[in-house]
């Protein structure tokens, strides 16, 4: 009897494997990059006069994704198909790869969401741009709630050499016993990013921004449920509980 049941189960298992492979559909333009090998690499970016900013990349990626984060099977399939078509014609486009990373992070597993695939595209972004790649890894690991790895990749980003058109601006906040601290601003396309403890009670985040621009930001303290503030809701540099 058990043998008969196992015999009936095999076709269903085979179908499930085929569906999973179709949902994930890894892109042909890149191969997975071993995280351990990346950590051993030396950051040796060449200075560039046309370096993309995080804000530009994230804003451009939004053109390829719907505003809602919960997709039906048909919507998910169309999003992937459209993105892969875009990628075929421009495989080194960081915004398109960023959009694919965001898609795999936010789509439910049943319609193709996959943390592994998100890491795959973060690795490819890293091969194109060290700084944005580090932030991509930080983003993925934050979604996965692997906080230590997320912080490690943020700190790796600080070792990237600055392009000629960029500079580091540090945002700091001093207060003890902070359960959570995030920052949102024009430098990250108004998306939440973690602040990290530098010394006891001193939190910091360094951001790479164009020389001709300054940072506009808001700190969000001890509130994990707040919605993303919009650009118009931020007046000057302030913080909010």
Q: Could you report the per-residue pLDDT of 9-47, keeping only the tens digit for each?
A: 444 444 443 444 334 443 333 333 333 233 323 233 333
Among the three residues 139, 164, 189, which one is the final residue of a domain in this structure? 164
Q: Could you report the per-residue pLDDT of 176-207, keeping only the tens digit for each?
A: 878 889 999 888 998 999 999 988 889 999 99
Instruction: Return the sign of the alpha-carbon dihedral for residues 106, 102, 136, 201.
Output: negative
Domain count, the chain: 2
Across 68-88, average pLDDT: 83
- Secondary structure element (H or E) that encloses residue 60, with its range: helix 54-61
Question: In this predicted structure, what is the pLDDT of residue 59?
Answer: 93
Structure-model confidence comparison of residues 49 and 28, the more confident one: 49
Regarding whether 153 and 39 lie in a shared domain, the answer is yes
Question: In this predicted structure, what is the pLDDT of residue 69?
Answer: 64
Q: Is residue 144 part of a domain?
A: yes
Among the three residues 114, 140, 164, which one is the final residue of a domain in this structure? 164
- Rounded (10°) angle between helices 147-157 and 130-143: 170
Regarding whether 173 and 72 lie in a shared domain, the answer is no
Regarding whether 74 and 111 lie in a shared domain, the answer is yes
Regarding whether 89 and 39 lie in a shared domain, the answer is yes
**Strands (DSSP E) along 50-201, which ranges?**
166-174, 181-185, 193-194, 196-199
Among the three residues 133, 164, 195, which one is the final residue of a domain in this structure? 164
Regarding whether 199 and 141 lie in a shared domain, the answer is no
Regarding whether 117 and 47 lie in a shared domain, the answer is yes
> Taking the C-alpha atoms of 136, 189, 233 and 176 in order, what is their torsion angle to the nearest 10 degrees?
30
Structure-model confidence comparison of residues 111 and 158, the more confident one: 158
Structural domain for 189, as ranges = 166-241
């Amino acid at each position: 009897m058990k043998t008969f049941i196992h015999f009936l189960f095999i076709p269903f298992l085979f179908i499930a494997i085929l569906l999973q492979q179709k949902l994930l559909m890894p892109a042909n333009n890149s191969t997975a990059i071993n995280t351990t090998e990346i950590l051993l690499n030396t950051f040796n970016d060449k200075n560039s006069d046309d370096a993309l900013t995080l804000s530009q990349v994230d804003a451009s990626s939004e053109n390829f994704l719907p505003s809602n984060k919960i997709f039906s099977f048909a919507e998910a399939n169309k999003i992937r198909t459209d993105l892969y078509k875009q990628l075929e014609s421009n495989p080194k486009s960081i915004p398109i790869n960023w959009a694919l990373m965001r898609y795999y992070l936010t789509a439910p597993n049943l319609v193709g969401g996959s943390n592994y695939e998100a890491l795959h595209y973060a690795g490819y972004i890293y091969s194109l741009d060290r700084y944005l790649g580090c932030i991509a890894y930080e983003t993925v690991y934050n979604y996965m709630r692997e906080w230590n790895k997320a912080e490690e990749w943020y700190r790796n980003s600080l070792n990237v050499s600055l392009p000629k058109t960029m500079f580091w601006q540090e945002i700091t906040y001093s207060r003890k016993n902070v359960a959570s601290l995030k920052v949102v601003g024009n430098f990250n396309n108004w998306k939440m990013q973690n602040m990290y403890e530098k010394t006891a009670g001193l939190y910091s985040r360094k951001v790479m921004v164009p020389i001709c621009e300054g940072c506009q930001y808001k700190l969000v303290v001890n509130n994990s449920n707040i919605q993303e503030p919009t650009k118009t809701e931020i007046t000057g540099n302030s913080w909010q509980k």
